[in-house]
A and B are shown apart, each in its own frame.
Chain A
């Protein structure tokens, strides 16, 4: 039996979680204030994932950059691949919140979507 301590990152509360591991699996999770905390603990120790936020260039827009995010969480190990995948993207303005910037980034099944409205210039 093993105990691991982690901080839940689901929301700004940051509940301190204690996870009891046994036989290579999660036996129990305590310390969470909501059910998402338990789900997070299980995931974090088996297949940690993250949401990635970044920016891409905009062409012909009122602003030079548009912020983007992964529409859902992706495997932690793919963060840099994901960033590299959007490196050369130049979105033509106008850009709207929610528009798909890059579908299924790095084969994760998760899309990169815009999180900023950028009107066209002129």
Chain B
């Protein structure tokens, strides 16, 4: 097995964008490892549109968006292996992978980009009581069956979770002939895009029940009914508010979790808030030469930002290899989150290693109105922007001019906070 300088784990939108960017930055020795039988990752099953407005100024479906990057990868002759599962990543960047043709093999790249995406939270992890029949699917698994295989997982559906995947599947199942009876959402607000409430629920008369959760599932062999109930301020079901729906399917859209098993086995430091690696301004993890981008780093709402982030990671990985794999000894400014900011990517910025700007992304922990996003270098406010609405379901981006940081050499930390407008 020949060696490669850069191995990219995952051939979805993040992996593809990272590969193209690394190539454009001059690196040639790249290998993408993808576990599925085609490139494109999760976009292959996201047949709805809404992708690419930022990147291509067009509204594309998932497969079309992926197709643009796949075309580039092929045009640039970037090597990739399909049906290949990476089993282990070691701290020294040794990649252990397996497929039918090559068997079990190891690679020893100079740099690695983690682009493994995320997985869905299953029923088991939600501890929903009741029976364990057939007919309970996470929304993504149902999406795969419907969109890739052409199989219907059910006919009478209840959905728990109003994140985008749940909303999209409400429409998808309806358009394939199923009856979606209700979408229940634990929080008092929906986690998905407002446009999806309109075009996935309102358009089809599907009710959305906020502050509700599933409290029971009936059916020994196949789902027969699902009971939902209203929840109180502590998310506990309120007795007496139960509503029983006869159905044969329960779809769960209750959270995405970055898939970091490989990161863990390598010993990469993870952020307990995101469950993704902590990275610096160069998207480099705690292991020099190991970079991360896309949903494995933090779950995104827009694939355009994934491509942007992954492009940066690709360029950084190429630069790291070109400069002889030097682990930088630059001063790092740790970033603190305050007043409703849940997490930031990156968690630290090294102004000397950064380019002209640093892209800072973050999420808030609640719905806020009429706030100001403010960034402080030490005690000095270096950035401020009014935001009429901030919501957990919408990732925020701040582009910071690096000079604003170098202007404040006395600062030993950065704070990202929300203030009254």
Contacts and interface: CB of A to CB of B under 8 A. Distances in A.
- A–B contact with Cβ pairs below 8 Å: the answer is yes
Interface of A: 6-12, 14, 16, 50-55, 57, 62-65, 67, 69, 76, 79-80, 83, 97, 115-117
Indicate the member of A8, A14, A52 with the most B CB atoms within 10 Å. Answer: A14
Contacts of A51: 49
A52 B64 contact: no
A65 B147 contact: yes
Indicate the member of B38, B47, B146, B149 with the most A CB atoms within 10 Å. Answer: B47
B291 to A, nearest CB: 27
A65 B148 contact: yes
B390 interface: no
B63 interface: yes
Contacts of A53: 47-49, 61
Interface string B192-234: 0111011100010000000000000000000000000000000
Contacts of B63: 67, 97, 115-117
Interface of B: 37-38, 44, 47-50, 53, 59-64, 67, 70, 146-150, 175-176, 193-195, 197-199, 203, 301-302
A55 B47 contact: yes
Contacts of A62: 37-38
Nearest to A80: B175
Contacts of A55: 47, 146-147, 150
Of all A-B residue pairs in the complex, the 3 with the closest CB atoms, nearest first, are A14-B194, A67-B47, A9-B195
Contact of B53 (A11, A52, A64, A79): A11
A34 to B, nearest CB: 11
A54 B61 CA distance: 10
B83 to A, nearest CB: 12
Contacts of B44: 116
A45 to B, nearest CB: 13
B265 to A, nearest CB: 32
Contacts of B197: 7
B203 A12 contact: no
Contact of B150 (A65, A76, A97, A117): A65
Given A54-B47, A54-B175, A67-B47, A7 B194 contact: yes
A67 B175 contact: no
5 contacts: A9-B195, A12-B193, A14-B193, A14-B198, A65-B148
Nearest to B67: A97
A12 B147 CA distance: 22
A56 to B, nearest CB: 9
Given A11-B53, A12-B195, A12-B302, A115 B150 contact: no
Contact of A50 (B50, B146, B176, B203): B203
B147 to A, nearest CB: 6
B148 A63 contact: yes
A14 B67 CA distance: 26
B148 A64 contact: yes
Given A12-B50, A14-B193, 6 more contacts: A8-B195, A67-B61, A69-B61, A97-B67, A115-B63, A117-B67
A9 B194 CA distance: 8
A96 B198 CA distance: 31
Contacts of B70: 117
Nearest to B200: A9
A57 B61 contact: no
B249 to A, nearest CB: 18
A80 B92 CA distance: 55
Given A65-B148, A97-B67, A115-B63, A14 B195 contact: yes
Contacts of B60: 115
B391 to A, nearest CB: 11
A87 to B, nearest CB: 9
A82 to B, nearest CB: 9
Contacts of A11: 50, 53, 59, 195
Indicate the member of A6, A16, A53 with the most B CB atoms within 10 Å. Answer: A53
Nearest to B61: A115
A40 to B, nearest CB: 10
Contacts of B147: 55, 65, 67
Contacts of B149: 64-65
Given A7-B198, A79-B175, A83-B175, A69 B38 contact: no
Contacts of B62: 67
Nearest to B62: A67
Contacts of A64: 148-150
Nearest to A70: B49
